[in-house]
């Protein structure tokens, strides 16, 4: 007998990605369950407000412009990260070959972006640790309240932290270091 969602909620036990996948395969978790696996915990995904949805729409357009043909954008789709996390970031840029697998989700990304309103503390702390541990080279947090982008680079997987962090205002242009040629006018995210 497999783990059920109620078993996890009652026990507080952390699970692995393999256990999470078995829960999906057995129907303990279904398509309508808006959840993701973060650091061994099944976490509910909050509904999106209009500002959040608009930011994702703008990001998809801006990041997609001029993206090299060997890369793909994944919008709110899973990334299977080592051992205990399968987040569904608002946007991820991955290698096209990884995005085309029918057997598994991509296991890494060049760039991950989370749009943050109420989720800002989780995105700054928990998700930053998860992405750094997985060696994601660049992580952006679109801070809706302050109309800025928080840029995290140079992951230290052993420490679960990024070595460099910067805040880019809506007056500036943001150039990705992990995706060649990707530059966006930050103001375009908030118009």
Q: Does the pLDDT at position 158 exceed 90?
A: yes
Q: For residues 167 and 150, is the Cβ–Cβ distance under 8 A?
A: yes
Cβ neighbours of 56 (radius 10 Å)? 19
Q: For residues 116 and 144, is the Cβ–Cβ distance under 8 A?
A: yes
pLDDT attached to residue 70: 95
pLDDT attached to residue 31: 80
HSE toward the beta carbon, residue 56, CA cutoff 13 A? 19
Q: For residues 155 and 162, is the Cβ–Cβ distance under 8 A?
A: yes
Q: Does the pLDDT at position 119 exceed 70?
A: yes
- Give me the residue label for tokens 């205002």: 169
Q: Specify whether the backbone of 136 is left (phi greater than 0), alpha (psi in -120 to 50) or beta.
A: beta
Q: Tell me what the pLDDT averaged over the chain comes to.
A: 91
Closest by CA to 49, choosing from 133, 141, 145, 139, is 145
> What tokens does 180 get?
């060649």
Q: Does the pLDDT at position 189 exceed 60?
A: yes
Give the pLDDT mean for 116-143. 96
Q: Which residues contact 130 (CB under 8 A, 6 or more apart)?
A: 38, 39, 81, 85, 87, 160
- pLDDT above 90 covers what percent of the chain? 76
Per-residue pLDDT tens digits for 25-53: 999 998 888 899 999 999 988 888 999 99
pLDDT attached to residue 10: 47
Give the integer Cα–Cα distance in Å for 119 and 146: 14
Give the integer Cα–Cα distance in Å for 44 and 58: 24
Q: Does the pLDDT at position 1 exceed 50?
A: no
Q: Which domains does the chain have, with CATH numbers?
A: 5-44 (no CATH), 50-189 (3.90.1570.10)
Cross-strand pairs, 153: 138, 164
What secondary structure letter does DSSP report for 79? Answer: -
pLDDT attached to residue 137: 98
Q: Does the pLDDT at position 2 exceed 80?
A: no
Per-residue pLDDT tens digits for 78-94: 999 988 999 999 999 99
Q: For residues 133 and 160, is the Cβ–Cβ distance under 8 A?
A: yes
């Amino acid at each position: 007998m497999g783990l059920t969602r109620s078993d996890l909620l009652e026990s507080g036990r952390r699970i692995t990605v393999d256990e999470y996948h078995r829960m999906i395969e057995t129907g303990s978790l279904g398509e309508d369950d808006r959840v993701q696996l973060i650091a061994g915990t099944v976490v509910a995904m909050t509904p999106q407000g209009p500002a959040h949805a608009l930011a994702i729409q703008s990001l998809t357009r801006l990041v997609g412009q001029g993206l090299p043909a060997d890369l793909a954008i994944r919008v709110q789709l899973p990334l299977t990260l080592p051992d205990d996390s399968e987040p569904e970031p608002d946007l991820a840029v991955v290698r096209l070959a990884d995005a085309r697998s029918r057997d598994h989700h991509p296991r890494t990304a060049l760039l991950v972006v989370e749009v943050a309103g109420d989720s800002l503390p989780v995105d700054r702390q928990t998700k930053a640790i998860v992405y750094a541990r997985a060696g994601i080279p660049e992580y952006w947090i679109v801070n809706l309240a302050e109309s800025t982008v928080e840029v995290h680079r140079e992951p230290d997987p052993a420490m679960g932290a990024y070595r460099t962090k910067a805040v880019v205002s809506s007056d500036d242009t943001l150039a990705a270091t992990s995706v060649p040629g990707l530059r966006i006018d930050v103001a375009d995210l908030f118009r």
